[in-house]
Chain A
Amino acid sequence: MLKILKYSFFDLIRSKWSYVYFLFYLVISSSLLYLSGDISKVIISLMNIILILVPLIASIFGVMYYYNSREFTELLLAQPIKRTNIFLGQYIGLAVSLSSSLLFGLGIPFLIYGIFRSAEIWNFIILIVTGVFLTFIFSAISFLVALKNENRLKGFGIVIFLWMFMAIIYDGLFLLSLIVFKEYPLETISLTLSMLNPIDLSRILILLKLDISALMGYTGAVFRKFFGTDTGLLLSTLILVMWTVLPVWAIVRVSGRKNF
């Protein structure tokens, strides 16, 4: 598995899209830092970008990579290698290469700017960690979708729809249900609903770390009380881990049974 992981990783690292992705973050974060100079504000702006773009890019990249490397996968399948190793190796190689683009693209400008001497270091770490989690989650989902659908167009369609659902439609339904049921106490419901969607969960984690919660009035206080505690943080990390592990487990299962 390690060999395949390494192969996938270096294969992707060499591709021009990884560089474009890396350069994109490099340019965005360094120009934001240069223009604004306030690390906390830059982190908020980056948060908006990361929450939308990371899942989108990870989804599209995942599908694309699976379909493109299909012939190579078939070649590997002919060898005496365990299926699990092949697909997991490919997936982890993909996720790691995307994450490293993100990590270096954001990390280098912040390092040069002196993040380690700043009080915002923990907020930055949260931003990076959620970004990496989102990469792992959405590339796993897209890999799974691609694995299940031989038809490329259908695969792309489903992945784009899933992204749109998580990033936009979910919040719409969420808001709608809050408005419809506003006569009832909604704190627990809204807490649960926001924890079920990895994008929402990441957004809230970053916002609460950034002290914006203080600006959110009464509800902000409720959320801060939950997410601010160690249990809250542990639970939300656990849910992000679950979101990663579940699709990966499905990849293992589906790939084991699939006919090529």
Chain B
Amino acid sequence: MNRPNGYSGIWGLQMGLLLLMTFYSFFCAAGTVKVDQNGKVKTIQEALAMSGSGDTILVYGGNYSEGTILIDKPLTLIGIDRPIIDGHDRDSDIIIIASDSVTLEGFTIQNAGTSYIKDLAGIRVRRKNNFVIRNNHLINTMFGIYLEKANDGKIVDNQVIGQAIEEVSSGNGIHAWYCKNLFISGNTIVSHRDGIYFEFVESSQLVDNISRNNLRYGLHFMFSNNDEYTNNLFEKNGAGVAVMFSKNINMYQNTFANNWGSASYGLLLKEIYDARIEENIFDGNTMGIKVDGSTRVTYHNNSFENNGWAIKFVGGSYDNKINNNNFISNSFDLVLESARNNNTINGNYWSSYTGYDLDKNGIGDIPFRPVKLFSYIVSRTPESMVLLRSLFIDIIDFSERVRPMFTPENVMDHAPLMNKVVY
């Protein structure tokens, strides 16, 4: 008999609490603290101590150096006129986010120092979720933004500029370890070890970032599954992007340009399953894509121009589909040496194709063999690269193409296109 009353009692309590919380957020939580070096609150540390959850701290222009700043409440910090937070090379993190729902916006964060023991960071997010890091400049912070077990975060429009000279004493621009649902967009990352490093990162997106002049990789995936990167630019890095031991990575509309060096790649794939590589541009790299084990990967609508090697497969690679790509003016279009081959190569445009199209359907009438004899020779005796573009090499390549003896016979494009693929 009393049960309905009991229910209504709890109901009333809940309503009361809700009301209280609403009032609370109206009168207390929406507080704003202003930090100004000429004002009442002079340091960020003071402001952090004063403010409660959900407050906004406005930091006005100036130079703040206050040791490590620990943000342990859900706050919004906004820099106005780009205040500088300087670590003065004290070999410690500059900002640590240790609370959910923190927003950090509009700061310049600089000089974390260099350490061979600790991973110093400009901004470190420690085991918390829902953070937003937007429009900050991170200069000479060993690691720019360091995420450890942090989920559902946004890292948008930051500039992360390092001074990496050698790999051992430098950090990564954006470093993520055990994270989920990250959205990283519009960042520019220059001169670090890896531009962006993902280790055990799931379901994350990278959009419109620029990664340039990094010592090792522009973007590096390790053991990370179900991620997607779209429309990024990777330029002049040790290697553009390395995707290693990962599944279901989508790579769309990225540009890999000018990654030069004796061991340099636009894209390096190592033990990859079920990836999609579509509408990317590979221009002027020593090696467009180096594939060391890829299975069920789709290469579709990509353009390979002016690379030393467009795609080089080493090791076992099975069930890959290389369809509708443009291969233009590469020294070697495709290197695929394993005698057993069940990869599909179909409907690509090859600038070195010399066949004809009598029925005018846009598809060449004779199949094209993209693997050159010279590439086979070079992989065995690298010194023979000296003979690149000599008449003798052209002659033996031609005769091999007519009747393959050394290169795998069944690697060919049965429907080579006469015109570039437009997508």
Interface residues of A (CB under 8 A from B): 41, 44, 47-48, 51-52, 167-169, 171-172, 174-175, 178-179, 182, 186-187, 189-190, 194, 200, 203-204, 207, 212, 214-221, 223
Let me know if B389 and A175 touch, CB within 8 A.
Answer: no
B308 neighbours in A (Cβ, 8 Å) = 212, 214-217
Partner among B261, B285, B382, B395 whose Cβ is within 8 Å of the Cβ of A168? B395
Let me know if B383 and A212 touch, CB within 8 A.
Answer: no
- Nearest chain-B residue to A218 (Cβ)? B262
Most buried by B among A171, A172, A190, A215: A215
Let me know if B262 and A175 touch, CB within 8 A.
Answer: no
B261 neighbours in A (Cβ, 8 Å) = 214, 221
Interface residues of B (CB under 8 A from A): 260-263, 284-287, 306-308, 329, 331, 377, 380-393, 395
Decide: A203 near B390, CB < 8 A? Known: A179-B380, A221-B262.
yes
B260 neighbours in A (Cβ, 8 Å) = 214-215
Let me know if A178 and B381 touch, CB within 8 A.
Answer: yes
Measured in the bound complex, the distance between the Cα atoms of B284 and A94 in whole Å is: 42
Measured between C-beta atoms, what is the minimum distance from B302 to chain A in Å? 18
- Nearest chain-A residue to B287 (Cβ)? A217
Let me know if B387 and A182 touch, CB within 8 A.
Answer: no
| 16 additional A-B residue pairs with CB within 8 Å, beyond A41-B329, A215-B285, A216-B286 | A47-B389, A52-B391, A171-B392, A175-B393, A178-B381, A182-B380, A182-B381, A189-B383, A203-B389, A207-B389, A212-B331, A216-B308, A216-B388, A217-B287, A219-B382, A219-B386
Let me know if B385 and A220 touch, CB within 8 A.
Answer: yes
B306 neighbours in A (Cβ, 8 Å) = 215
Let me know if B331 and A171 touch, CB within 8 A.
Answer: no
A200 neighbours in B (Cβ, 8 Å) = 386-387, 390
Measured in the bound complex, the distance between the Cα atoms of B382 and A246 in whole Å is: 33
B389 neighbours in A (Cβ, 8 Å) = 44, 47-48, 203, 207
B382 neighbours in A (Cβ, 8 Å) = 217-219
Measured in the bound complex, the distance between the Cα atoms of B307 and A200 in whole Å is: 22
Let me know if B307 and A215 touch, CB within 8 A.
Answer: yes
B393 neighbours in A (Cβ, 8 Å) = 171, 175
Let me know if B387 and A186 touch, CB within 8 A.
Answer: no
Give 11 CB contacts A-B under 8 Å.
A44-B389, A47-B389, A48-B391, A167-B391, A168-B392, A171-B392, A212-B388, A214-B261, A215-B285, A215-B331, A217-B263
Let me know if B395 and A179 touch, CB within 8 A.
Answer: no
Measured in the bound complex, the distance between the Cα atoms of B389 and A52 in whole Å is: 11
Let me know if B286 and A171 touch, CB within 8 A.
Answer: no
Let me know if B388 and A175 touch, CB within 8 A.
Answer: no
Let me know if B286 and A204 touch, CB within 8 A.
Answer: no
- Nearest chain-B residue to A171 (Cβ)? B392
Measured in the bound complex, the distance between the Cα atoms of B374 and A179 in whole Å is: 12
A203 neighbours in B (Cβ, 8 Å) = 389-390
Let me know if A175 and B377 touch, CB within 8 A.
Answer: yes
Let me know if A175 and B392 touch, CB within 8 A.
Answer: yes
Let me know if B307 and A175 touch, CB within 8 A.
Answer: no
B388 neighbours in A (Cβ, 8 Å) = 207, 212, 216
Let me know if A171 and B383 touch, CB within 8 A.
Answer: no
Measured in the bound complex, the distance between the Cα atoms of B377 and A174 in whole Å is: 13
A215 neighbours in B (Cβ, 8 Å) = 260, 284-286, 306-308, 331
Measured between C-beta atoms, what is the minimum distance from B306 to chain A in Å? 8
- Nearest chain-A residue to B395 (Cβ)? A168
Decide: A217 near B390, CB < 8 A? Known: A186-B381, A187-B383.
no
Let me know if A179 and B385 touch, CB within 8 A.
Answer: no
Decide: A178 near B286, CB < 8 A? Known: A212-B331, A217-B262.
no
Measured in the bound complex, the distance between the Cα atoms of B262 and A169 in whole Å is: 29
